[in-house]
Amino acid sequence: MQDIIEKLQSLGFSQYEAKAYVSLVRQGQASAYQVSKESGIPRARIYEILNGLQEEGVVIKEEINDSIQYSPLPVDVFLESVRSRWDNTYQSISDTLKQFEKIGPVSDNRVMTLKGEQHILSFCRTLIQKAEKRIVVSLWDKMYEILEPELKESAGHCTLKGIVFQVESPLAGIDVHRQTSYVNNIGENKWFILSIDGTETIYGPASETRETAFYTDDPIHINFLENYIWHDILVNRLVKKDEAEAEDWISRERNRFFSL
């Protein structure tokens, strides 16, 4: 219950407005007293809140048998109204901010830190949608699942390349890393790389494990990271030819290389 109240507040409703609307949705039609009792809104405020929602068109006020009754705007209509209002606000903000945005040459060799899982995922989606020729990825299962709809849409005009971990059936062009003890026991030490057109790359720990990532348009970084992915794909393909013996050897060599 508290969760939906907080989400409605994020859309611009006050706490009492959100509680009143949810209460009416649950009751269908009710008096101000019933809304106050069910929602916990003080009786001294309930008429003010309901009349305000009526002015916004979110609540319908009717006189029935000498009694004032309130009904909620049907949920489907309410949601469409909210989405329409959000779309208009988004477009207005987008147009204005893009006018303000400085357009011009930027310094080379940028490496920027990104914070917050949602910001990182939004940046990834923006890059995927921006890609014109090629998308190269190295993704673990959770991030792949989140970004798959955008990758699928971009596959219509871009070449997809790369490798995924613990994913059963990725999109065409993307290799599946073989199951190994290293992969299965990696725990929280997962990563991701997303590169588009050889010009922009985001990389870092998988967004669900650590909410920090890095963006770069530096060609040296990008070349290094894309070659890292290619090396992973190459080894994966070679080992599949003689998996048991090769995997034991790779495991021994990895342990030797990283030992202190």
Residue 11 main-chain phi, psi, to 5 deg: -90, 0
Q: Look at the block and give the residue holding tokens 């990532």.
A: 213
Angle among Cα 117, 118, 124 to the nearest 5 degrees reads 90
Residue 241 confidence (pLDDT): 66
How far apart CA 78 and CA 81 sit, in angstroms, is 5
Q: How many CB atoms lie within 10 A of CB 71?
A: 15
The two beta strands, 174-176 and 191-196, are unpaired
End-to-end CA distance of the chain: 53
Domains 2-75 and 111-258 in one fold:
no
Q: Do residues 62 and 71 touch, judged by C-beta distance below 8 A?
A: yes
2-75 to CATH, choices 1.10.10.10, 1.10.1760.20, 3.40.50.1000, 1.10.150.120: 1.10.10.10
Average pLDDT over the chain reads 87
20 closest CA partner among 10, 8, 193, 90: 8
173 CB neighbour count, 10 Å cutoff: 16
What's the CATH class of domain 111-258?
alpha beta
Reported as a single tens digit per residue, the pLDDT across 220-248 is 999 999 999 999 998 888 887 666 677 77
pLDDT band at 95 (very low <50, low <70, confident <90, very high): confident
The Cβ of residue 22 has, within 10 Å, a number of other Cβ atoms equal to 19
Segments making up each domain of the chain, as ranges: 2-75, 111-258
Q: Give the pLDDT confidence of 132-182 residue by residue, as tens digits.
A: 999 999 999 999 999 999 999 999 999 999 999 999 999 999 999 988 888
- Residue 105: pLDDT band with limits 50, 70, 90: low
- What does each C-alpha distance from 69 to 32, 62, 87, 131, 141 come to in angstroms? 7, 5, 32, 54, 51
Per cent of the chain over pLDDT 70 is 94
User: Which pLDDT does position 260 carry in this prediction?
Assistant: 62
